């Protein structure tokens, strides 16, 4: 039976990895401090999800700025769980799995809060954009996960998880969520298509 050869990652360092390197001076001391307090990386992951859920609830009530501030503050929390695991020597596949799944829940909860709010207002176009943005977000992650299941890794795309956070959180703080929804609805799905093309090219090379 022909075996699928895992492709080498030739796509360089992602924006997320670059920022982890740039802010290592901040993340490492804070992560070490939290470890000394007895907190675990999974605790930080769950705290991030809880915080984003609270932010999403505020969005569903139309309190965009306050919900956006909470979601903005959850960004560093999301970055700390991986740092804490690395410092504890506990970086592993299950931790990365939990972190990835929780990220998807967080993003869907946030977009769900916006979807609920716009449906309550009878604003069908923003509600549709929230749904399309959520679909694109899921597909960006799914295309990579599905590719990895056949031995191919793909990280390409104009709007990965970090970029979506950078677009969405400030837009909520400044109460312009519709701008973020347009960007995410279009570019998240473009990113999914970019990954499909990337996987196709790599599969043909194999």
Is 7 domain-assigned? no
Q: Which of 81, 99, 103, 198 is catalytic?
A: 103
Domain span including residue 31 = 15-205
Whether 1 maps to a domain, the answer reads no
Start-to-end CA span in the chain (Å): 15
The CATH number covering residue 91 comes to 1.20.120.1760
161 has a pLDDT exceeding 80: yes
pLDDT digits (tens, 9 = 90+) for 79-116: 888 888 888 877 667 777 888 899 999 999 999 999 99
Check residue 141 and give its pLDDT.
93
Residue 149 in this model has a pLDDT that exceeds 60: yes
Quick check: 100 and 155 in contact, CB under 8 A? no
- Residue 53: inside a domain, yes or no? yes
In contact, 99 and 42? CB cutoff 8 Å: no
78 versus 202: the higher-pLDDT residue is 202
Confidence of residue 9 (pLDDT cuts 50, 70, 90): very low
Query: Is 167 inside a domain boundary?
Result: yes
- The answer to the question of residue 170 being in a domain is yes
The contacts of residue 99 (CB under 8 Å, 6+ apart) are 41, 45, 78, 81, 82
Overall average pLDDT of the 125-145 stretch: 96
Lowest mean pLDDT across 26-30, 74-78, 91-95, 191-195: 91-95
Secondary structure letter of residue 123 according to DSSP: -
Asked if the structure places residue 5 within a domain, the reply is no
Count of domains forming the chain: 1
In a domain, 113, yes or no: yes
Per-residue pLDDT tens digits for 177-188: 999 999 999 999
Q: In this predicted structure, what is the pLDDT of residue 83?
A: 86
- Cα angle, residue 190 at apex, residues 185 and 196 outer, rounded to 5°: 135
Catalytic, 81? Answer no
Residue 7's pLDDT is what?
38
- Among residues 78, 104, 194, 102, which one has the least CA distance to residue 147? 194
Per-residue confidence (pLDDT) for residue 12, from 0 to 100: 53
pLDDT score at 8? 40
Percentage of residues in the chain with pLDDT exceeding 70?
92
| Residue 147 forms part of a structural domain | yes
Contact by Cβ (8 Å): 118, 127: yes
């Amino acid at each position: 039976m022909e075996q699928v050869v895992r492709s080498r990652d030739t796509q360089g360092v992602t924006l997320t990895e670059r920022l982890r390197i740039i802010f290592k001076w901040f993340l490492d001391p804070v992560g070490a401090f939290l470890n000394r307090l007895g907190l675990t990386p999974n605790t930080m992951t769950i705290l991030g999800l809880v915080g984003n859920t609270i932010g999403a609830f505020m969005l569903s009530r139309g309190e965009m700025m306050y919900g956006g501030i909470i979601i903005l503050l959850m960004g560093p929390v999301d970055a700390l769980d991986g740092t804490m695991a690395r410092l504890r020597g506990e970086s592993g596949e299950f931790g990365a799995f939990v972190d990835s799944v929780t990220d998807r829940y967080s993003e869907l909860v946030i977009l769900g809060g916006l979807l609920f709010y716009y449906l309550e207002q009878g604003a069908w176009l923003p509600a549709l954009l929230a749904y399309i943005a959520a679909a694109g977000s899921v597909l960006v992650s799914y295309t990579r996960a599905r590719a990895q299941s056949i031995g191919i890794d793909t990280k390409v795309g104009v709007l990965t998880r970090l970029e979506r956070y950078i677009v969405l959180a400030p837009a909520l703080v400044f109460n312009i969520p519709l701008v973020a929804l347009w960007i995410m609805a279009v570019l998240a799905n473009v990113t999914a298509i970019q990954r499909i093309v990337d996987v196709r090219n790599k599969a043909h090379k194999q």
